[in-house]
Structure 1
């Protein structure tokens, strides 16, 4: 397969065919990629566990017009106390709210606080397929009405609808995210290549991969039922851009090596693709298949992330093994200016940083890997303090938003759970009994019967505790226990606290099922690639240890440096998926080269040669991917900042510690046992040790080895 692909973009005619094919592909792709926003599903069901009671509540509440609605709370307050005119305005505004487009169901009459300093109106807002985007427009209209003719009256829109609107605005900054990511990557590539021209080709190819993947996902969402939401959409662009650039770095490094020993650049590219192709394909396969394992998840936001990002990785692979090689061959050697690789020139010396690292690791490998593992393990212990029960709604953003201001105002004058009730659909014949039972709960502030239709009744219970708090979640469990204990109630319980509860339960279940499945898949791919058992066990073990250390450090930083309010319930699983898949990436790049070198010189020398040969390119790749994910901090959302920080940190640990120190030291200590049950028999030496350790990439040994192959 690799040889077949290598022949097309590297051929004298094939390079032009490849370029024309991509141009023809990108013409509709640019247009289709623009449809991705409209193809997103950001309604409640796109995030809930598919089998949860909250999901069943959404279906049951459709008849009341509430299944696809979200309450938005408009809160008014005046310093020094309300005036009679303020209450009149709130009543008049409520009538206007009722007539607004996308306000469905009955707007509740304004409620005056006991301290007579605030008044609140709850407005049910329809959640269409556009989700947050549509809600944001309605919330803007609510805000405009509330702010008009207030004469000093303060008003804010909060509640689930207000927070959803703020989330939609935050995700609207995804274009800024890509601009930041591109700037970061360009800076790293300029530093890596020290060329004013070479960086253009991988960036052009990566951008083409992003647009193409977005186009493919938009088509699949419309015609194949693939679910994509705002979260998976922006993660897709970050992942594709970063992974594509990584593959580009690996390919260009091999291509540069081959240009030293091949006069014909077409032949050099064909050789580069054949030699780097297996590692790139294995890397992409590992990431893509690991992501597809997320289909086993029950939380829809996690489940939908799998196929979306897996498709993106496949597109990135195709772009970097077809479009980029074609562009490189078309441009020729000049694109490397000012340091063009000339045929017959000596390869770059290995007597640099990575040569010194290999010497250090080779001195006492057992002590080094044991000490490194102990340090990483100590960091992993900090995971004990991890709080992944969800992020309180007033701490979801890295800045103060409209909804947060309203929430603060609301909490000063109303019960903490006001505007975010626990909603129950019950049989109308038992509604009175249900309301009485709920009103007796000490953790419930108020109980209201909102509507009745077709023998079913909608009942709202307002918790005394704030939304998202442990107390509110406990109240949701109590409400479920009570209503399910009423004979004949046939109840479904949903609403904000119940949704958070179901998300936590679903995320916990998914972690126990998906994490072992990902480890088995990764292990299986490594066994097929390396045709060994010990090496895959070593690689999987090191990336799991790296994940633990990364999460431990992240917990400490989030709690004591950034002072975040917690982690999303699905965060540990999503972080695990990306960190393990991407961490194995760099191990694959290293170990495939080590195995290749071991076939010539033995495992010990092969490990040192592989480290020094791949040190520069893998370090650059790690910096690129870390920088790309770190750009996620440009979104003003805590979960985006947490995911970006954690993946960036994990990639750096994998690049600078796990790959360069831990894996290399373990390989040196295990020796030939690394490749068990196969035995690695090195070829007869064709160059002295000094030559092999003095050069990287296509050394004199490589040239003689090629002659033996011929």
Structure 2
């Protein structure tokens, strides 16, 4: 199959290249833009309590204003606010209101509390203003971010002539800062990724053209993949989180370069044996094509397993990454061979050393040592992975996307100032609603019971209300927590004592719901636990099936997945050590295990597939299991090492972004790829295969010596 594809592509390379260019142009001109959201509530299904509370609040209290932004005023000299300063705050609020427009923010800017007095802190040092959201606005969409930027521009001239400075925070302002941080991160990561790939390819091949080829190929692939992802998100109403575009850059360049390397190493190997360009392309695609297709298939299936998630964030990330890998895979099997065919031997210009096969002394000596003592290599590498995996049990999930913002951005500084002078929970009061099940008027005693229970609940600082809906069927309380609503402490309070108190106090015939940010986080935690129990096993099972079909074995897939599982645990454990124990972070973003599992499982399987496929090939030459493992390390080791360094380095570039979510993810994924390439694929997998021996290939016994399946070079050249 892959030999036939190689012959087709090598005979008509210009048609293949032209087809890709045309597809890219059509997609760019017709596909919608790829958008993202930072609203965690958009990721949850309707049956969770936080979403029920939000829907009930919107239905029963349509005129209620949720803070879309918070203005924090203080004197430039840090002194207490004077009466003139407070008057200036009121004036600024009145003048700002009409400038905001009606698309996102309400025109009313509230700088006074419910009692009509200015909202000034008890120490008199800061004043605040709340900007309510307009009807049907959420504060997280593109329009909200545009209006938040306009609001900041409008505030600057309004504060001139006063002694005040003002900073904004809240949903819209934080979303704006998150977007700008992501754009900055994308630029940094993109530049770092390209520079790293060019430098590493220059060291490996010493070729100008090979350095540039992944950049050109991935650029075409990126245009097509991004357009297709945008179209899929729009067609199926998928919600992508704000990190997806940064991750796409890394995935496309990293995996794309890996697959190009898989092909180029085989192509160069055949050229060194004296073949012409076209026959070498056919041979390279026939030998590497199966490994590339199987590896890409494993990655795609692993990502598509996220469709089983109950969270829309994972359901959108999965197809997005699957589409990106699928386009990259097709390009690796068609566009790359076509470009190589056109360039021929000039691909390696200006280097001439490619003609001579290096001795690969290091990999050869490692392979010989592994072949002699596979038990030692398997035990040593397995114990290292297991020791690190123990720390993975201490992983503490965090659900606060905004905490990942760089500390110097305006919204972070504003919320820190706010919480220094007001109750921590005052920036985002938690709505608690109690409603009659039959739609009739709510018994006042029911509301009183819930209110009393709230005041006594652990974690509650103040309770305001109740406020009754127009039909008298629903009562709403506004609860100010002791802790920052986005903190782990607030999540624990809402998930535990507050929800318990509210549910227990609600009389028969009524329903009570706790909403707000910490309630969303609590539901995300519950949904995450469910998804991990479903997505992980399904992805592992499907990858095992792919391995079984590729290797025609029911034995090897089990220990290959054991290796990948140890790699996952070791990666999570190392990340916990670095960020929770050494840096003192209270937790790591809750999505991290999913990303680690998918990338380490899927991409780690890439390297395992390449190593085991080469090991099987060596066994078919008549070598015993230990000698086959030694030769596989010698020949496949350089390819895996080069690909692993490039992909690990590509993921490591995420650590330059300054966003703590992206930094932790960059470390975890780069460490995981390093482990997958240099521990699992290089040592653990071939050592185990050597130990298991001929039984590893049961029942297909694909390691048995057989006749050459690739057409002789002379025959291929004659056909070409």
TM-score for the superposition, normalised by structure 2 = 0.88
Does residue 20 of structure 1 match 2:18? Answer: yes
Partners of 1:497 and 1:97 in 2: CA distance? 30
Q: By how many angstroms is 1:580 displaced?
A: 0.9
CA contact (8 A) 1:358 1:608 kept: yes
The answer to whether structure 1 residue 508 and structure 2 residue 529 are counterparts is yes
- 1:75-94 maps to which residues of 2 (within 5 A)? 75-78=72-75, 79-94=78-93
Quote the Cα distance in structure 2 between the aligned partners of 1:256 and 1:459. 71
The answer to whether the 8 Å contact 1:439/1:447 transfers is yes
Q: Superposition pairs for residues 448-467 of structure 1, below 5 Å?
A: 448-449=464-465, 452-453=469-470, 455-467=473-485
Q: Is the 8 A contact 1:45 1:300 kept in 2?
A: no
Partner SS state of residue 230, structure 1? coil
* Counterpart residue number, 2:200: 188
Query: 1:436 Cα deviation (Å)?
Result: 4.7
1:637-648 alignment, distance < 5 Å: 637-648=659-670
Q: 2:442 aligns with which of 401, 406, 429?
A: 429
Find the aligned partners of 1:620 and 1:32 in 2 and give their Cα distance.
37
Quote the Cα distance in structure 1 between the aligned partners of 2:194 and 2:141: 26
Partner of 2:126 in structure 1? 118
In 2 relative to 1, CA 313–681 (structure 1 residues): closer, same or farther, beyond 3 Å? closer
Distance 1:46 1:259, change over 3 A: farther
Q: 5 Å matches for 1:201-350?
A: 201-261=213-273, 263-340=275-352, 348-350=357-359
Distance 1:515 1:230, change over 3 A: same
Structure 1 position 471 matched with structure 2 position 489: yes
On the 8 A contact 1:115/1:413 being kept in 2, the answer is yes
Q: Secondary structure at the match of 1:36?
A: coil
Classify 1:349/1:146 alpha carbon distance in 2 versus 1 (closer, same or farther; 3 Å): closer
Secondary structure class of the residue paired with 2:159:
coil
Contact 1:139–1:162, Cα closer than 8 Å, also in 2:
yes
Query: Which deviations, in whole Å up to 9, do the C-alpha atoms of 1:431-458 show, x marking residues without a partner?
Result: 7534454344353223334784555454
Check 1:28–1:52 CA distance in 2 against 1; reply closer, same or farther (3 A cut): same
Relative distance call for 1:132 and 1:555 in structure 2 (3 A) is farther
CA distance in 2, matches of 1:199, 1:348: 20
| Matches of 1:524 and 1:81, distance apart in 2 | 69
Instruction: Determine helix, strand or coil for the equivalent of 2:72.
Output: strand
**Contact kept in structure 2, 1:483 and 1:489, CA below 8 Å:** no
State which of 395, 402, 420 in structure 1 corresponds to 2:428: 420
Alpha-carbon separation, structure 1, partners of 2:703 and 2:122: 84
Structure-1 residue corresponding to 2:555: 534
Q: Which of 149, 153, 157 is matched with 1:140 structurally?
A: 149
Alignment-derived partner of residue 149 in structure 1: 159
**CA-CA distance at 1:132 after TM superposition:** 5.2
Q: Which residue matches 1:178?
A: 190
User: Paired residue for 1:356, among 362, 365, 370?
Assistant: 365
1:8, distance to aligned residue in structure 2 (A) = 2.6
Looking at structure 2, the residues matched to 67 and 653 of structure 1 have their Cα atoms a distance apart, in angstroms, of 52
Q: Distance in 1 between matches of 2:443 and 2:337?
A: 70
Gaps of at least 5 residues in structure 1 are 687-697
Task: Establish whether residue 608 from structure 1 lines up as the match of residue 630 from structure 2.
Answer: yes
Aligned residues: 686
Q: For the residues of structure 2 that align with 1:419 and 1:359, how far apart are their CA atoms?
A: 64
The alignment partner of 1:445 has SS state of strand
Query: What displacement does 1:192 show?
Result: 1.4
SS in structure 2 of the partner of residue 309 of structure 1: helix
CA gap of 1:41–1:557, structure 2 versus 1, over 3 A, is: closer
Give, in whole Å, the separation in 1 of the partners of 2:551 and 2:469: 64
Whether the 8 Å CA contact 2:553–2:701 is kept in 1: the answer is no
The normalised TM-score by structure 1 is 0.89
Task: Kindly report which structure 2 residues correspond to 1:644-683, keeping only aligned pairs within 5 A, or say none.
Answer: 644-680=666-702, 682-683=704-705
Deviates more, 1:535-544 or 1:431-440: 431-440
Q: Could you tell me how far apart the structure 2 residues matched to 1:300 and 1:503 are?
A: 11
Change (3 A) 1:553 1:533: same
The equivalent of 2:463 in structure 1 is 447
Residue 417 of structure 2, aligned match among 409, 415, 433: 409
Closer, same or farther in 2 for the Cα pair 1:186/1:123, shift >3 Å? same
Q: Deviations over 1:584-619 (max 9, x none)?
A: 111011111111221112332222222111111111
Displacement, 1:171?
Answer: 1.6
CA offset at residue 43 of structure 1?
4.3
Which one of the candidate residues 41, 50, 57 is aligned to 2:53? 57
Matched, 1:486 2:486: no
Aligned to 1:36: 33
Summarize the Cα distance change of 1:506–1:705 in structure 2 as closer, same or farther, 3 Å threshold: farther
Contact 2:49–2:514 (8 Å) recurs in 1? yes
Shift of 1:684: 8.0
CA separation of 1:149 and 1:225: change in aligned 2, threshold 3 A: closer
Cα 1:20–1:176 change in 2 (3 A) is: same
CA contact under 8 A between 1:69 and 1:104: conserved in structure 2? no
**SS at the partner of 1:424?**
strand
The answer to whether 1:366 aligns with 2:366 is no
Residues 166 and 351 of structure 1, relative CA distance in 2, 3 Å threshold: closer
Tell me, in whole angstroms, the C-alpha distance in 2 between the residues paired with 1:418 and 1:130: 18
SS for the counterpart of 1:559 is: helix
Contact 1:159 1:403 in 2 (8 A): yes
After superposition, give the CA deviation of every residue in 1:194-233 in whole Å (9 maximum; x if it has no partner).
1122222222111211111001112222334444342233
CA-CA distance at 1:426 after TM superposition: 3.8
Distance in 1 (CA, whole Å) between partners of 2:665 and 2:30 is: 28
When residues 340 and 130 of structure 1 are mapped into structure 2, their CA distance, relative to the original with a 3 A threshold, is farther
Offset at residue 89 of structure 1 (A): 2.6
Indicate the larger mover: 152-161 or 377-386.
Answer: 152-161
**Distance apart, 1:681 and its partner CA:** 5.8
1:266 deviates by: 1.6
Alignment-derived partner of residue 158 in structure 1: 169
CA RMSD of aligned residues (A): 3.0
State the 1:332 CA deviation: 1.2
2:179 pairs, out of 168, 184, 192, with 168
Separation of aligned partners in 1, 2:307 and 2:695: 36
Q: Cα offset for 1:294?
A: 0.9
**Separation of aligned partners in 2, 1:319 and 1:533:** 31
Task: Give the Å deviation of 1:130.
Answer: 9.2
Give distance in 2, aligned partners of 1:140 and 1:56.
31
Question: Equivalents in 1 of 2:17, 2:408: separation in Å?
Answer: 48
| 8 Å CA contact 2:571, 2:596 repeated in 1 | no
* CA–CA separation in structure 1 for the residues paired with 2:572 and 2:498: 34
Task: Using the TM superposition, name which of 511-520 and 262-271 deviates more.
Answer: 262-271
Q: Give the distance between the partners of 1:183 and 1:67, measured in 2 at CA.
A: 51
Note the alpha carbon deviations across 1:380-411, whole angstroms, 9 max, x for none.
22223322233585x42343221221122112
